[in-house]
Structures are given as structure tokens and as C-alpha cells.
A and B are shown apart, each in its own frame.
Chain A
Amino acid sequence: MLLDIITNNSITAPSEPWWKVVYDFSSLTKWVDTSLHSSMSSFWATITEMLIIGVLILLFYALVGLFLVYAERKVCAFMQNRLGPNRVGPFGIFQTIADLFKLLFKELVPIKNADGFLFNLAPFIVIIASFMAIAAIPFAKGLHAIDLNIGVLYVIAVSAMGVIGVLLAGWSSNNKYSLIGAMRSGAQIVSYELSVGLALITIVIMAGSMQLSVIVEAQRDGWFIFKGHIPAFIAFIVFLISSTAETNRGPFDLAEAESELTAGYHTEYSGIKFAFFFLAEYINMFIVASIAATVFLGGWMPFHVGYWEGFNHIMDFIPPFIWYIGKTFFVIFLMMWFKWTFPRLRIDQLLTLEWKYLLPINLVNVLIMAFIVLMGWHF
């Protein structure tokens, strides 16, 4: 059953202190699973579980999206000596909700010579791609929708699907700017997918598994970024750069490059369809950041320092979900920091960066990492 898969790999040692038991979500999910199965047939139980998870993820998705838009606006405002949104609610926290309502009620402008079906399909592809990727992310111990044994591969594969939506959007809106933006985005994602994959492979070599929960468990005694010497750190930096590029965010936002292509592939979209693109961008950022947090920064694992028992206990006391969110938002903050500092690259420089710098570095890095692991030199 679905939740069986979820709880399969969460191992709780019997001598754990009480808070570790409380923070372990596997018992909760197990209980939901068994109670559902006892009250209905296994088919309907699975359907219900799917629905529950779907609704929960949808809620989470919306909340994260709203919050990230707000956070981005505040962060960039503070970097630019501004206050940012400050009118709707205290510190403007309801600003994005107001914006959401505005976008919901806005007119969906029909484009005369657009390819209607593809034009309407594109935002859904983009949003579904990001929606699918979120399923594999472990939020806390035992708290993820599906724990595939090829989790890393799955996330890479699914998050790359978004580019189809972007390409469709650019093509079908019959706008020259959009088409240029879409083509740029295609070239960009095809190349940067490589770096993302290789950077993750560096860690997969260390962890010996592609299953995200196993990767997290392997970091119990130290995060991979610390365990893997310099190669892991380089992989982290490379992952950060290439994943920023993959999510089409500044300084790699060539697909929408507003000073060149007005708004790139979503120039012709309005209202809620535009909101889909907008939301997907932020969710993609969240997914990428949480992958970085999971793979490099230990996911929901607390921060431990060697033999400082007291310190480690205090760290353990903070719930894993907080750890996970904290790490994710740290990475997101880094990405925002990039965006609001650097000028944009040109398309040929973008590809140069990938093929001339990131890819060779990455290949050498994988090699070194493999060597380190073979020799057992890592911690």
C-alpha cells in the first residue's frame, strides 16, 4: 500500500528519547493507514490516502507559493533600501493574498492568432511538473508522499518536464518575444540539467543510494557538505548555480529577461494563467532548494558537532520539520541574494559557463569523489 511504502524505511531505534518518537511521523502515517484499511476496502483506502495527500500537498503548495512571493519581495526590498509591501496587513503579509485575488479576477485575454489548445495547456504542464516533484521530497522523518528508491532521478526527471510547458507557452502565444524566450529556456535547461545531475551524482556516490530517505539517514552523523571534503562543497556550489539556472531565475532569467524580451515566454498570459507560471517559478525554487537541503545539508537531520553531547541534544530538540524548512529557506535566501545582486548573463555566456566551466569541474569532481569514497577517506 501507498503508506506502507512511505513507512518502510523509517527505522526507529528502541532506545530513542521521547522527542525523537514524537518527531517521527511514521507512527502517525502508519496509524492513518491501518485505520483506513480497517474501515474500507484496500482499493478505496488507497484512493482516500491519495486524496488526503493530494489535498495536503496542494495546500502546502499554495501556502509556500504565497509565502515565497512575499519573502522575495521583502528580501529584495531590504537589499534595495526599501520597505517592500507594507500596506495590506501588518508588514504587508497579506499582500500576496490580495495579489492572488487580483490575479483570480483578472480577465484572461484571448490571443487572436495563438494556438488555443497549447496556449491553455502550457501553464498546466508547468505547474503539474512542479507539483509532481514535490511528492518525493522528505519533509521530516516519515513525512513524504512517496519514497521512491530512485528519488533523486525522479526529481531531476520530473522537474525538467517544466521546460515543455515553457516551450509550448512561447510557441503557442505567437509572439516573437515569447518564442525567443522559450528557445533560450530550452537551450538553457537542456544544458544545465547535466550539471544538476552530475552534482547530485557526486553525493549519490557518497551515500550509495538514490533513495532520498536513505540519503538523509546517511547524514545522521554529519551533513554531506561537511563529510565530503572539498568535492562535496564544490558540488554544492555547482548545484546551487545550475539549479538557479534551471529554475530560470536571475542572473539566469534569460527566458523572461524583462529588459530584453519584455516578459519572455509568458508575455501574452494574463490572470490566473500568468499566476500559474509565476507560482510554478517559486515552487520550482522551493523544490530545488529542498533538494539541496536534503542532499547536501542533511535534510531534516539536526546539526551535530562531533562529541558535544549537550549541544547535540539541544539540536535534537528542535523538530526535524523546522530543520528542514530552515535549511530550505537558507538556500532560497541564497538564490534570492544572487538574483538581486548580479546582472544577467548573455545566452552564449550562459552556455559557456555550463560547458566550459561547470561541466568539466563537475566531471573532475565526480572522479575525485569516487576516489575518496573508494579509499574511504571521507568521514
Chain B
Amino acid sequence: MRSIINYLKEIILGVWSLLKGMKVTGSYFFRPSTIVTQKYPSNRKDLVMFDRFKGEVVMPHNEKNEHKCTGCGICELNCPNGTIEVISKTIISEDGKKKRAIDKHIYRLGMCTFCALCVKTCPSNALAFSQKFEHAVFNRALLIKTLNKPGSQLMKGVE
């Protein structure tokens, strides 16, 4: 007799535990307000990324097309996987001195691991992260970027 009672109890408890699970899924089914899906490409306009989001490394330029990069190459040294290559040139400054400046600051997005060491160690804060995250391109060569804009100058007062 006891075994029959246990048998029935087992069934009832089992079914009850199943019903509790169904309650969870069922309650979400009838509450569409809990849906968390973001409709990504169509919400692109009001998509706000966090300020610190590491999208890609950029070199901010001011409105006079000036940047802060002195071409010291510390970012290149600190990069763990050879993402950055600084090609520098010597220019003659206004007071006739020879000075080092960047010719090209090459950044290979395809190799970047977003460790932020370059941004962190830059002595003149010339580099920053942008929030852009849509990096897909059809040609891999497009991932090699030159960060300084053509014709840009070193910002005054940055050594």
C-alpha cells in the first residue's frame, strides 16, 4: 500500500514541478513587455554606445586639422601584436630646428586586440577610442588605416 502511495506521490510531485517550470515560460509568453531583443540595424539612429567603449583607435583632430601625435613611437613599442606602425619624418620647424614628426600613423584594425595599451601610454594623449563598432569591410586592405589625416599638423604646445 505504501509503495502505491509513494508511486502516486512521485507522479503528483513530478507533475507539479513540471507545472512550475511551465509557469515561468508561460508568464513570459503572456508578458511581451519583457522582450529584450534590440532590432539592431533599424535602431541604429538611437543606439548609444558607452563613452569608454573600445571600438577602434582614432587620433582626434581639432578643427584646424591638428593632432597631438609627436611621433615618439611609444604606442608602437607598447602594442603587443604589431598593430601600430609609426612612420616618422624630420621637418624643419619655424625657428629653423630639425624636429621629428609623423608622416603616417598606421593602424591595422584587423590585428588590434583592443588592449588599450597604446591609448593608455601615449604621453601626449594623441590617441583615443571611438565608439564605432561596424568594422565589416569586403576588402581586408581597408582595415589598414592611417590615423593622421592628410595635411594635418602637430598641435601647438604639444612636445
A and B: real partners?
yes
Chain A residues with a Cβ under 8 A of chain B: 75, 78-83, 86, 337-338, 340-342, 357, 361
Does B25 count as interface, using CB distance less than 8 angstroms? yes
B interface residues, how many (CB within 8 angstroms):
15
Given contacts A342-B18, A357-B11, contact A81 B25 (CB under 8 A): no
Whether the Cβ atoms of A78 and B24 lie closer than 8 Å is no
B6 at the interface (CB under 8 A from A): no
- Asked if B22 and A83 make an inter-chain contact with CB atoms under 8 angstroms apart, the answer reads no
**Across the interface, do A341 and B39 meet the contact criterion of CB distance under 8 Å?**
no
Interchain CB contact under 8 A, A83 and B37: yes
* In the complex, residue of chain A having the shortest beta-carbon distance to the beta carbon of B27: A79
B:13-44 near A, CB below 8 Å: 18, 21-22, 24-26, 28-29, 32, 34-37, 39
Neighbouring B residues of A357 by C-beta, 8 Å: 11
Cross-chain contact B25 with A341 (CB below 8 angstroms): yes
A340 and B37 in contact, given A78-B32, A357-B11 (Cβ under 8 angstroms): no
Residues A79 and B28 in contact, CB atoms below 8 Å apart: yes
Cβ of A341 and Cβ of B21 under 8 Å apart? yes
Give, as a whole number of angstroms, the nearest-CB distance from B20 to chain A: 10
Query: Is the beta-carbon distance between A337 and B25 smaller than 8 angstroms?
Result: yes
Q: Are B34 and A337 in contact (CB under 8 A)?
A: no
Q: How far is the CB of B118 from chain A (nearest CB, A)?
A: 38
Chain A residues whose C-beta falls within 8 Å of the C-beta of B11 in the assembled complex: 357, 361
Chain A hits for B18, CB < 8 A: 341-342
The distance in angstroms between the C-alpha atoms of A281 and B37, with both chains bound, is 28
The answer on a CB contact under 8 Å between B26 and A81 is: no
Complex: A83 Cα to B42 Cα, angstroms: 14
Is there contact, CB below 8 Å, between B29 and A75?
yes
- Hey, which chain B residues are within 8 Å of A83, CB to CB? 35, 37, 39
* Docked complex Cα distance between A82 and B29 (Å): 10
Given contacts A341-B22, A341-B24, A342-B18, contact A78 B29 (CB under 8 A): yes
Q: Does A79 contact B37, Cβ atoms closer than 8 Å?
A: no
Find out whether the CB atom of A342 lies under 8 angstroms from the CB atom of B21: yes
Is A78's CB under 8 angstroms from B26's CB?
A: no
Contacts of A361 in B (CB 8 A): 11
Name which residue of chain A comes closest to B37, CB basis: A83
Do B34 and A81 touch across chains, with their CB atoms under 8 A apart? yes
Complex interface: chain A residues within 8 A of B25 (CB): 79-80, 337, 340-341
16 A-B residue contacts at CB 8 Å?
A: A79-B28, A79-B29, A81-B35, A81-B37, A82-B36, A82-B37, A83-B35, A83-B39, A86-B39, A337-B25, A340-B25, A341-B18, A341-B22, A341-B24, A341-B25, A342-B18
